[in-house]
A and B are shown apart, each in its own frame.
Chain A
Amino acid sequence: MADAATAVAATEMTVEMVKASQLGMKALGAGIAVGLTGIGTGLAEMAIGSAAVGATAENKDVFGLVLLLTVIPETIVIFGLVVGLLLLF
């Protein structure tokens, strides 16, 4: 009987443990938010970037414009970063 009570006490979580676990999950969520949006941005910029280099190779005057177009998908990773920061703080 005494052995069973000891075993139950050992599996119960303390408040500190729960808090630490929540913090870990938040950090994990923030990491996923930034990581996945980063991949999305990379994929989008891959196509735009190669088209931008192609267009610039033919006409150097469009460099400023294509640079602007290339960084537009950066907004995706910025959204991820904002979500990550909101989760953490």
Chain B
Amino acid sequence: MAEVRAGPVPYIYVCTRMRVRKAKLLPREEYLRMLNMGLSEITRFIEETQYKKEIDELATSFHGIDLIEIALSWNLAKEYQNIQKITPGTLKDLTRAYLRKWDIQNVLTVLRGKLHGERSGKIREVLIPAGELDKHFLDRLIEEPTPERIIEALKGKGVYPLLSRSFEGGVKEEFLPRVENELYKQFYAELVSMAMSGIKGGKQFMDYITLDIDITNISNMFRFRADQSGEEMMAAIIPGGTISPQQIQRLMYIRDRNEFIDALVPLVKVRVLRELLEKLREEKSIREIEIDLIKVQLAEMESMSKLHPFSIHPILAYLEMKKYEIFNLRALARGKESNLTPDRIRGYLVI
């Protein structure tokens, strides 16, 4: 059958839907209100928003923090699966490629859960089946008796070759961080090669990948500067950003914070990120730095989505913002469960 050529129409349709969804995300004021609520009030409040269906479905089986956590995970997975269904043409391929990040997270969660001897139900609660590996496939993985069998069950999937190579002599927990780094490097390398393959919208996708890699690398640099663990850091550095691994290695030798920022700022192309780095001269905790970097990333993605309104950017901006809404609600619920003060919880929110 001949392909129906609809021009830019499907792109405009789906990007508008993403914009409307983004407008429906919880605003800053609602988070500030929730900071003064108790856990049950937060549950009730969430139930009145777009999470109603999940909360209603799960309310008979779970209570308290479990109910909120599982409802949020279900909602995120459902939302991501739905977006994959409605995106057209090459946007679907790019969205799918981006969502494969969740596959890595899910597989590693299952492996870690098995190594720690966690119950299947407990592992299932923390999975977010938003990528290529759907809920049923992940359920089958969880039911496998050993980590080695889990890796065998992944045969034919993108993560299998690296996992089988890395765990030839059996799955050991001390190798997991290294394998995690390798998996993420492979993931980003695949994204870069896809964006550079001449696919329609590849340039815009490449802009996003570069930003994501830069933010991840800068965040890692600050984290490892605090730990003084240069060797580990170089293993976590992802190639493909504006700052090359060689430049990062040179930056890691600079001990003085001001000198480090002086050397880093000229290498960064994004204006808002340069402005943030200037502010990071004063001592801040790693958590604060990471949250500031996430805020800059979201702000930059928002401006990129305005610059290219009918490209992959509005979709990615929504996906990221939705992810952080879930993270915020989770942090709020967990903070309330642990009786943390509102000020302390606020420090964990991306608002």
Could you tell me which A residues sit within 8 Å of B by CB distance? 46-47, 50-51, 53-55, 57-59
B16 near A55 with CB under 8 A, answer yes
| Number of B residues with CB within 8 Å of any CB on chain A | 13
Of the A-B pairs whose beta carbons lie under 8 Å apart in the complex, a sample of 26, sorted by A's number, is: A46-B7, A46-B8, A46-B9, A47-B8, A47-B12, A50-B8, A50-B9, A50-B10, A50-B12, A50-B16, A51-B12, A51-B13, A51-B16, A53-B13, A54-B12, A54-B13, A54-B14, A54-B15, A54-B16, A54-B20, A55-B16, A55-B17, A57-B17, A58-B20, A58-B24, A59-B20
Name the distance in Å between B306's Cβ and chain A's nearest Cβ: 15
Residues of A within 8 A of B15 (CB): 54
Task: List B contacts of A59 (CB < 8 A).
Answer: 20
Say how far B58's CB is from chain A's closest CB, in angstroms: 24
Dominant secondary structure at the B interface: helix
A46–B10 alpha-carbon span in the complex (Å): 10
For residue A52, which residue of chain B has the nearest CB? B16
Q: Is B21 an interface residue (CB 8 A)?
A: yes
CA–CA, A21 and B9, complex, Å? 42
| Chain A residues, Cβ within 8 Å of B8 | 46-47, 50
CB neighbours of B7 from chain A (8 A): 46
8 Å CB contact of A58 from B10, B12, B17: B17
The CA-CA distance from A50 to B7 in the complex, in Å, is 11
A41 to chain B: closest CB distance in Å?
A: 16
* 1/0 contact string of B6-46 vs chain A (CB within 8 Å): 01111011111100110010000000000000000000000
Most chain A beta carbons < 10 A, residue from B8, B17, B21 = B17
Cα–Cα, bound, A54→B9 (Å): 10
Rounded to whole angstroms, the CA-CA distance of A54 and B21 in the bound complex is 11
* Smallest CB separation, A64 vs chain B (Å): 16
Given the complex, which residues of B lie within 8 Å of A58, measured CB to CB? 17, 20-21, 24
Residues of B close to A46: CB separation below 8 A: 7-9
Shortest CB distance B189–A (Å): 34
CB-CB < 8 A to A55: which residues of B?
16-17, 20
Minimum CB–CB distance from A61 to chain B (whole Å) comes to: 11
* CB nearest to B86 among chain A residues: A57
CB proximity of B321 to chain A, nearest CB, Å: 15
- Quick one: closest A residue to B16, CB to CB? A54
On whether the beta carbons of B17 and A50 are closer than 8 Å, the reply is no
* Alpha-carbon gap, A78 to B21, bound state (A): 35
Q: Is the CB of B21 within 8 A of A50?
A: no
Q: CA separation between A59 and B24, bound complex, in Å?
A: 10
Docked complex: B135-155 residues within 8 A CB-CB of A: none
Q: A50 CA to B17 CA in the complex, in Å?
A: 10
Closest residue of chain B to A53 (Cβ to Cβ) is B13
Chain A residues near B17: list those with CB within 8 A. Answer: 54-55, 57-58
| Residues in A whose Cβ lies below 8 Å from that of B16 | 50-51, 54-55
The closest CB in chain B to the CB of A66 belongs to: B16
A47 to B11, CA, bound (A): 10
> Whole-angstrom distance between the alpha carbons of A58 and B21 in the complex?
7
Distance of B295 from chain A, by nearest CB (Å): 26
B311 CB to closest chain A CB, in angstroms?
A: 14
CB-defined contacts of A47 to chain B, threshold 8 Å:
8-9, 12
Name B282-329 residues within 8 Å CB distance of A: none
The 8 A-B residue pairs with the shortest CB-CB distance, nearest first, are: A54-B16, A58-B20, A51-B16, A54-B13, A50-B12, A50-B9, A50-B13, A54-B17
Residues of B within 8 A of A53 (CB): 13
